[in-house]
Amino acid sequence: MAFELPALPYANNALEPYITARTLDFHHGKHHNAYIVNLNNLTKDTPLASAPLERIILDTVGDAAKAGIFNNAAQVWNHTFYWKAMKPKGGGAPTGNVAARIDEAFGGYVAFREQFKTAAVTQFGSGWAWLVLDGGSLKIVKTGNADTPIAHGQTPLITCDVWEHAYYLDYQNRRPDYVDTFLDHLVNWDFAADNLG
Ligand code: MN
């Protein structure tokens, strides 16, 4: 039972003008798909081929001999999560329980927004910025390359992919503009509320 590329949760042009169909076609159809193909090749005819993705990630994290499997499994998981962390007409300040928890952890949405943007912009090279639940508290973390909070006992609520392939066609080198757009027009707070439970 091979891993399969999950469909995007919206049409490839649904996030325009903020993220174009051209970016989503490459990002989902080429990059995300490549991680799926690689993971299938690396786990073929092994017990991991039929294991849940989360189990593969937890079983291979920190094992240098299995770095290829970890990197591809984590990138499959991270991308599937990232698509859901955006929606058309998303962005802006959250409401309800997510807003209350952000107020409690960061002292308000404005402070949260500033700290999340800083994390996303200062992740050196490829990686991800996340809002996570860690030991009962909300935290902002950044991870390098394929690394993922679920490998470290944290529960992700949202993520922003800051690999260049996520934004270069639309924003070139202007990562701060892409992060502003993610926060103001794309982030899916309903998804964060679901993940908060
Ligand atoms: Mn990506």
Reply yes or no on whether the pLDDT at 112 is more than 60.
Answer: yes
For residue range 120-152, list pLDDT tens digits in order. 999 999 999 999 999 999 999 999 999 999 999
Ligand 1 centroid distance, CA of 127 (Å):
8
Ligand 1 centroid distance, CA of 23 (Å):
10
Q: How many CA atoms lie within 13 A of 14 on its CB side?
A: 13
120 beta partners: none
Q: Which residues surround ligand 1, an ion (CB under 5 A)?
A: 161, 163, 166
> How far apart (Å, rounded) are the C-alpha atoms in residues 48 and 21?
33
Ligand 1 centroid distance, CA of 160 (Å):
9
- In this chain, the answer to whether the domains covering 21-84 and 96-196 adopt an identical fold is no
Pick the CATH number of 21-84 from 1.10.287.990, 2.60.40.1730, 1.20.1300.10, 1.10.357.10: 1.10.287.990
Percentage above 90 pLDDT, the chain: 99
Which pLDDT band, with edges at 50, 70 and 90, does 1 fall under? low
Ligand 1 centroid distance, CA of 175 (Å):
14
Ligand 1 centroid distance, CA of 30 (Å):
10
